[in-house]
Amino acid sequence: MIRPIATTREATGIPTGRLAVWWVIASEIVIFGGLLGSYLMHRLGHPEWAYQSVHTNTAAGAFNTFVLLTSSLFAVLAHDAAEHKDGKKAAKYLMITCLGGLTFLCVKGAEWTHEIREGFTLTSNTFWSFYYTAAGLHGIHVIAGMIIMLFVAADAAKGKELQRVENIGIYWHFVDLVWIFLFPLLYIAK
Amino acid sequence: MSETTSTSKTYPLGLSEHGFQYVKIWGLLLGLLVVSVVGPMIGIRWLTLVTAFGIAFVKAFIVATRFMHINLERKFVTYMVAGMLAFMLVMVAGISPDVLKHEGHHWVNKAANDAVDRGEKEGAAHAGEHEGAAEKPEAPAAEHH
């Protein structure tokens, strides 16, 4: 069987597929880092944002942190199952991870609906511009991760391409990691 | 070569030994999450900074090392990631004087000062409305010279 180059071949000591994921993460650090760095600087320079940030829902943010940490647990359990060549179990854990992502998005959707109804929109204040941009960009990454995970899980269930379980797991943990910083910045620093 | 004695330990939910370790790490992360939520409720500034942001770094470190296994990767991966973080810091260091300071020698960032004033007035007015204050604070003045 002819295998694609970017799967298990390695020229750097790391399988090419996994190295690619690390490069994606490196570029994502610049994207999210730039955004969060800008937010932090503006937040410190604009004390009046405290009047706006007080309206974010800390309980919803904390619950979503719990959801993402739990989904990360299942992603790493999927990796562990793949290491033991148990594709079916890995697929099952990946599906639970996806469910975590879906829960996260549902909570975010409910939160945004409430905030928009209260009159806090993307254009109402620079704080809310940052809030929707950062959380929205993060949400897009959650959706992308879930879509890729479904494909990986479908293959893993057949015992195929099990190395991809680890790759998507690394990406998912990074998405979790970004949220770990977004949570205190947007929900706790009132 | 003799094999090490296998204890054939069983773990709950059919988890492997590694799987069980991951669950313990998850428990630790949840404990840290609770601290990061409860800490700022006390209302002490330094404690808020430590519990909210300090613990975020601890959680990030745990996720990166225990779940992403970056410490087990080749060293250049760590350098690659650290390099990107360094770029971010350079950007913040370069821009922050302009963003954080609204005035200096021979210059004033009038737009930023106005935004602060406007935001303070709007915020105070909004807070007053929510408290049901009979006396309505004056409308926000968006002056542009």
In our burial notation (b when 16+ CB lie closer than 10 A, e otherwise), range B45-78 reads eeebeebbbbbbeebeebbbebbbebeebeeebe
Q: What is the mean pLDDT of residues A12-39?
A: 94
Does residue A3 have a pLDDT over 90?
no
Does residue A158 have a pLDDT over 70?
yes
A120: alpha, beta or left? (left if phi > 0; alpha if psi -120 to 50): beta
| Residue B54 belongs to some domain of the structure | yes
Q: What is the pLDDT of residues A103-152, one digit of tens each?
A: 999 999 999 999 999 999 999 889 999 999 999 999 999 999 999 999 99
Q: Which of A13, A19, A41 has the CB atom closest to B99's CB atom?
A: A41
Return the pLDDT at A8. Answer: 65
Range of the domain at B31: 14-68
Instruction: Read off φ and ψ for residue B108, nearest 5 degrees.
Output: -135, 130
Residue A159 and residue A85 in contact, taking contact as beta carbons nearer than 8 Å: yes
Q: Which CATH number is A117's domain given?
A: 1.20.120.80
What sign does the CA torsion over A145, A181, B100, B137 have? positive
| Residue B84 belongs to some domain of the structure | no
State both tokens at B134.
């009979």
Which chain A residue shows the shortest CA-CA distance from B61? A177
Minimal C-alpha gap between A162 and chain B (Å) = 16
Residues of chain B with C-beta less than 8 angstroms from the C-beta of A170: 68
| Residue A170 belongs to some domain of the structure | yes
| Residue B58 belongs to some domain of the structure | yes
- Residue A60: closest CA among A103, A8, A96, A10: A103
Contact (CB<8Å) B80/A44: no
Element (H, E) at B104: strand B103-104
Residue A153 Cα distances to A97, A99, B82, B142, angstroms:
10, 13, 31, 55
Q: Which of A44, A73, A169 has the CB atom closest to B100's CB atom?
A: A44
| Residue B36 belongs to some domain of the structure | yes
- Report the distance separating Cα B40 and Cα B87, nearest Å: 30
Range of the domain at A100: 57-188
Contact (CB<8Å) B67/A45: no
- Report the distance separating Cα B57 and Cα A190, nearest Å: 19
| Residue A12 belongs to some domain of the structure | no
B37, B51, B100: best mutation site toward chain A, by most A Cβ within 10 Å? Answer: B37
Q: Looking at chain B from residue 89 to 118, which residues have their Cβ under 8 Å from any Cβ of chain A?
A: 91-92, 95-96, 99-102, 112, 115-116, 118
What is the domain count for chain A?
Answer: 1
